[in-house]
Structures are given as C-alpha cells and as structure tokens.
Structure 1
Amino acid sequence: MVETGDAGRDLVGFVLPDSGGLVETADATRPYVLLDADGAVAEPVSAFFAELQACGGAPATIRSYGMDLLRWWRFLAGWEVAWNRATRADARGFVRWMEIVPKPARSHWRRRADAGATPAPGARPLADAPNQVTGRAGPGRLYSAATRAHCETVLRSFYAFHLEEGTGPIINPFPAGRERRRLPVVAGRAARQSAGGRYRPSLPQRLPRRIPDDRFNELFAALRHHRDRALLAFWVSNGGRASELLTSRQRDSLPGEQLLGVIRKGTRAYQQLPSSPDAFVWLRLYQEEAWREGVPQDLSEALWWTLRRPFRPLTYHAARAMLNRANALLGANWTLHDLRHTAAYRMARDPGLALTDVQWVLGHAQLSTTQIYVSAGREEIIEAVLAHHQRQARQTEVPAVPASGYRAESLNDLFGGAQ
C-alpha cells in the first residue's frame, strides 16, 4: 500500500496514469459511464450521474462532471487508494498536484511530430503570452484556476451525495470553507461560513470579452462558406449560446418575423429569439446551396449540417473547429462564446433597449448577470485611458504665454524663438 500522507508523496514526480475512461452510451438513462482501471463501470459514479440527471442535468453537464471525476479516479489509482477510503490528505494532495504540475500531454492524430515537448515534472511553466489580436492568453500548461475550482466543486458534491446516501466515507474529503472567526457567534454558522469549499481557489473577476466591430469584420471575411457566415450572423445578433443555436430545426426559422427558435441550455425550454435580417439572408443562401448538395429538406430536420458527405447535423465541436480555422488565418483566438458576449454588449449598451429585454433574450435567470454588460468592456476602457493620456500630452505641449510688458524680440533673442 502506498503512503497516503502528504509527507510520503512525491507530487512533483507523480504521473497521472492513463487508465479507465469516460464512455458515451446510447442509453438515455445513462448517457455516460466512467470506467475504472480494470475496465469495469464505476457504480458510485453512475449513481451520482443518476442524481444529476434527476436534478435536470443535461448530458453535457454529466460529461463535464465525469471528466473531473475521471481525473480524480486516476489520481487515486496512481496511489492505490479506493474512492471510499480517500481522506482529507488525499484531497489536499490532489488539489496541490493540480496547482503545481503541468497538465498531462494528450496525444492526437492531428498533432504534428515537431510539437513542443512536455516540460519536465517540477518545472513550473510560464503562462502563454497574450494573443496580439485578441489580447487573451491561450490555454497554459498548468490547470487554470477555473478548472481547479470546477473540479473541487464536483468532487465535493460527489462525496456529499454519497455521505447523504450512506455509501461513502463518513467525512467528506473535500470540506466546506473555513468559518470566518472574526464574525460574532450570534451571527450564526451560515453567516460565518465562507463560500465554496476550503480547497477551492479564488477566481479573478474578469470582464466579458467582446469582439470589436473592426475585428468582427475581419473574422467574418475569413469565413469560406455561407453556412459559417449565417452562424456568425445569428450568434452575434440574437445572443444565443453556441450550443443553443445548433438545436434549431428547419421549421424554427421564420424570416418574415425575424425569429429563430432554439432550445435553451438550462431550462430546455423552447424560445424564439429576434435576429437580424442579414442573418436570414445568409441562412437562405446556405440552404439553397445545401439542398442542391443533397442535405435533407424537411421541416423536422436539423437546420445546420456538415458540409461534406455523409451529411450529419452540425455539432458544437465541429462549429468550434470552423471558428478555429478562421482564427488560424487571422492569428487570433476568438471563441464561440465571445460572439454571445458581443451581442450582449451591443444590446445592453443601446439606450433604446431595456435591460430586462436583454435579460430575456440572453436567458439570464438574474438581472445582475445581465448588468455586467452595461459597464465598458476591456477595449473601450483601454481606448478611453489612452485618449486621456493624449489629452494630457496636448496640455503639456501648449506654450506658456509671456506676461504683458515683455518685448517679443527680446524673448526671441533669449530663447531662440522656441517660446
């Protein structure tokens, strides 16, 4: 048995085993199953997935939770620790390992042979330089704070579920946040309890990133197909999420009313989103081209399809690959969610549009979520500050006016005409 205490572990030299996996199934009641190191289904995870599904979790949510649980399962397998024997020291070691060790390299059949090698264990790599076009840093070699926070939340919820069911350890390895002792006892435990878990990292407050108009025009011009132009036109005009737009059927497009129906991500409710006229023009051009190629033409069929045979409904990953191809031409790293942020900024900054209307279009449950788009974005703040510096420079360049009584020729002789 491997030593489970922090003192007996070499977290820097630990290599995460490539065992088990998260497998998608055709069973609607079990969209994903987690396989352990022996290839058997991890039933504790399946029970947790069933709880998520009963609480309204979409298959994409189950997959996201499953990836975090798979990482934890592999970590425990590397130290020969059973999931229900995990202690707080195991959880603390896992959190520390995610913070200091580079992400394991993933092999891909499209990866070039001359790709950069994985840094040696223990070498803390620097964050990637910001992109010159977007100003956003690319994915670094370390796990981001958001990834670590999401993973901690998932694992804490997983053990909390089994603690309630009586099927897991009697103590949650991922504890809740420490109490804030500075508050008086009369404030109550709920008031003194910090938000989130004890091992949850602090996340920086970031402004949503929008695409400036000139950059958007460059991105739109880099697209090669009418389908891609129609997708971008809808995303940047109706503010729908990337995955929501791909749920539309051919019957959901109403050009006469400028409405496009989508299935909302969280509530799974059907909603018609107002869209720009240009979006429907590009959509019609795409449909005429697609129907000539043999794409199914039926009101109940999907609205967006792949461009090559055999034709299949367009998925989120295929849409992201489309945007990445345009990014490669521009040297940018825009994301599909940036298009939603751009639409939200444009609508929220319009004085003729009520913020509650923007909230309805974006599908936000709270108005406070929509209010973040009222503030100026990163590009606008930088532009305003640079304009401030220019005004300051112009003020210092104004020549001083000499007092009355001085002769101009005397000043010219003294200062050489530079006053």
Structure 2
Amino acid sequence: MVNETGDFDFYPVEHSISCSSTDGKKVEIEWSDGHQSKFHFLWLRDNCPCCIHPETREPLFNVASIDEDQLIDSTSITEEGFLEVIWSKESHVSCFHPGWLRTNCFLDISNKSIPEAVTWDSNTKKKPNSFNWDEIISNPETEREWLFSLVEDGCCITKNVEPSKDGLIQITKRIGVVRETNFGLFFNVEAKTGPDTAAYTEIELPPHTDLPTREYQPGLQLLHCLKNSVKGGESILVDGFRVAEEIRSKEPETFNLLTTVPWDFGNRSTVTDYRWKAPMITLGIEGKIEEVRVGNFLRVPLQVDFELVEPMYKAYKLFETLNQEDRFKLNFRLEEGECLIFDNRRVLHARNSFDSSTGERHFCGCYIERDELWSAIRMLDRRNRQKIINSSSNE
C-alpha cells in the first residue's frame, strides 16, 4: 500500500477497515480486529492529507473556513483500503490511510510512542541503568532502550565512550541539538581558580537542578567523565518526581504551596544577571508533575506576602530535607569513559566534596532539550516502521 499521508511518517497496516458509516457529523469505523473508532467531521476535514504543501507537508487548509452547516455527504472504502470521505457543499474528496487513521484513533491508547516516567528511590533502584556505546550505535533496539531509559528513569550511564569532548559530541549527535548557555555549548567541570559557579570548586554540592535561574531549565544534562582519580567526588542522583509525590501524599498543604507560590532564583555573577520566579514543582495536565526546580545556592531573596514567608520556608525545608535523605539517593562513582545523562527538570544531581591534590577530576558537559530526546525516539520508531513497510513490499 502506498504511504499517502499528510506527513513524513510511515504507517504499517496491521488492521484493515471492515466498514464505515456516517451521520454527517462523524464517521464510525469498525476494524478487522473488532476495534471501533469514531472521528468528528471537523477533525477529518482539518487533517485531509491532500490539503498540504507538497514539499513541506504543512497544512494549507484553514479549518476556520469551514461553514457550520458543512457536513460529510458519504463515506466508502476504496480498493486500496483507504477511507474515502465525500464532503457536502464543496467539491472535495478526502482519502485517509488506514494505518494513519488507526494510529490517530482517540480510543486506541496503545499508540503512545513516548513512555511515562517511572519514579524510583534507593529501594527500587541502586544505580542508573548502564548501556555500552558500541551496542547503542550498532543495535537499534539497544538504542531505543537507552533513549527510553532517559524518559522512564530520567537517567542512565553510557559506558565505553571515548574520554574526550569528541566522545561527548558523538553522543549528542545521537540525541539532538545542544543548547548553548552562558557556559557555552560545552563546558568543563573541574576545580578552577576564580570560579563563577560552585560546580567549579571542590566543595560538596547538594541535590539541585541546573539553571533554575532561567525561564526554561535545560532538559537533559550530559556529564562525560574524562578523568576521575581524586579522593571523593562521588556522584549522587535524586528523583525529584518521587520526592514531590511523597510530599503530595503526606503533606498536601505543603505540596500546594510548592506548586502555586513562586520562589525567586538568580545567579550571582560579575558578568551575567539571570533571574526567574517559579514554583519549585510545576504541574501539567491532570496534576501530573512535569518539573522540579531546586537550587539552594541559586536562590535570591524571596519576594512573597509577609504571611507566606514562614509557610514558604517550612515548605522549602521539607523539600530540601527529603532530597538529602539516603532513601532517595543513588550514590555511585563515575569512571573515565562513562557519560551520565539525566533529565535536569526531574532528576536532582549532587556530588561529594573532593581533594584535587589526590588526583584529577575532569568532566565535560552540555545540555540538550527534552524535545530532542522525544524526537529521537519518534524518529527511531519511524525508521523501524519504514523497514516493516519496505519488507512487506518486497515479499
């Protein structure tokens, strides 16, 4: 079957359309596996696969131009198995690919390509999942597991990577575009003379997210270990979503403060002045936790009504206290040639203090947005669907 859809994706036809019917306002479809779908006429007209630019495949039709009394005149199944829709009040016919329709069925929850986050603590997880770089680049299934781990667990370790900036660059190319900040596209994490951030010292760093001072915190952070022979400096991760859920279940009033009243974050630098106000916990659709924003050393004076000062500090204390509890921490040592990747808007990272006189500790880091990760997963799945279609075409 020809891949005639309104996008660049590929849609294997696992189930064919058995029959269709319409009352003018909607189309009901029964599939060969017994599944039933229902599509509104506005949605179908809006997504007509021929009303697009032939090269960009971006929509040209404006759904706002549909007359209120325009309805579906009739539907049928073509010889190729497509759903054909004939529209009233305009000489237009839409043909919908069955694979595309099934993928976009509102009632089929199995079509979700991006997995859900699975929260963890030190009882359910002892160390981030590890993946071998050579296997990632040679086996699409391993690559998929690697990318999925970053969504489900929010972290993983990539082993046997060249211990250099070039090694880190190769990993980024597998995920997406690097986000530049005032620290550059890539930055070196090591003890420096005249540091402009606590990360460039030897001191212990408490659990935090990077750049809570920005309107949009970086999505993923990559920290690639080039050298690590010092005494101390062990890495620590905390699932901020897990901690937030603990507060939600046991201290709902505190959770409400942390999700509705903004804290003030800011950097203290001689050359930049980044500031942002936001709650420490951000909720999305249906109350789902989407982001945590934590950085004790990146706070500026709190600006709230006087009556909220004490409750806010109590809420902050609870969140910080839980982040420091061993039951939420993963403790491990990153070795040369290992790259730690984590969701910076979910997983808090920390480190123990270290002594530079005992050796070297040099990491190379960068940021990539969550969007790039999600795109990489979808593109990997798209290539797999293309292989399935090509394979069936050659049979």
TM-score bracket, shorter-length normalisation: under 0.3
Relative contact order higher in (CA < 8 Å, ≥ 6 apart): 2
Q: Which structure has greater strand proportion?
A: 2
TM value normalised by structure 1: 0.22
TM value normalised by structure 2: 0.23
